[in-house]
Amino acid sequence: MDFLSTRVITDDINRLVGFYEKVMGVSAVWGNEDFAELGTAHGTLAIGSARTVALFAPGSVRPADNHTAIIEFLVDDVDALYEDLKEVVEDFVNVPTTMPWGNRALLFRDPDGNMVNFFTPVTPNAIQKFSRYQVG
């Protein structure tokens, strides 16, 4: 088994895809008007329109109703990125903060209210843990 992607369902796919294109610095690959993917070297953020929910099971997913998951991205320099994101992100949960587990983390909400964490490992243990990933 291999973890491949996380899919977010939204009522406004163009707005949400545009937001993630800006904060991730990548262009989305559109499958059709109801589905797009933003890929990184190690995973994909998939975004689907609420119209796709009926394909799974009607009512099985509710857009903009996430209060349990955090979408996380490893970044080179969270402090520098924070400065760039001030013009894009409207809802910062915190400023870059060093967490007890050794990551410097910036948490914010996307336009649908989903929590996003951009983090940079800063302690030796955290740096070692994420050394297999190359960012940039």
- Per-residue pLDDT reduced to its tens digit, 99-117: 999 999 999 999 999 999 9
* The predicted structure's pLDDT at residue 134: 74
* The predicted structure's pLDDT at residue 75: 97
CA distances for 5 relative to 37, 58, 77, 99, 108, angstroms:
9, 22, 23, 25, 20
Single out the residue of 27, 23, 132, 36 nearest to residue 73, CA to CA: 23
Decide if pLDDT at 128 tops 90.
Answer: yes
* The predicted structure's pLDDT at residue 135: 74
Chain center to CA of 14: 16
Domain extents in the chain = 1-57, 68-136
Check whether domain 1-57 has CATH 3.40.50.970, yes or no: no
**Alpha-carbon span 30 to 27, nearest angstrom:** 9
Per-residue pLDDT of 10-27, as tens digits, reads: 999 999 999 999 999 999
Global pTM reads 0.94
**Alpha-carbon span 60 to 66, nearest angstrom:** 13
Instruction: Give the homologous superfamily in CATH for domain 68-136.
Output: 2,3-Dihydroxybiphenyl 1,2-Dioxygenase, domain 1 (3.10.180.10)
Per-residue pLDDT of 67-110, as tens digits, reads: 899 999 999 999 999 999 999 999 999 999 999 999 999 999 99
The mean pLDDT value for 40-53 works out to: 95
* The predicted structure's pLDDT at residue 129: 95
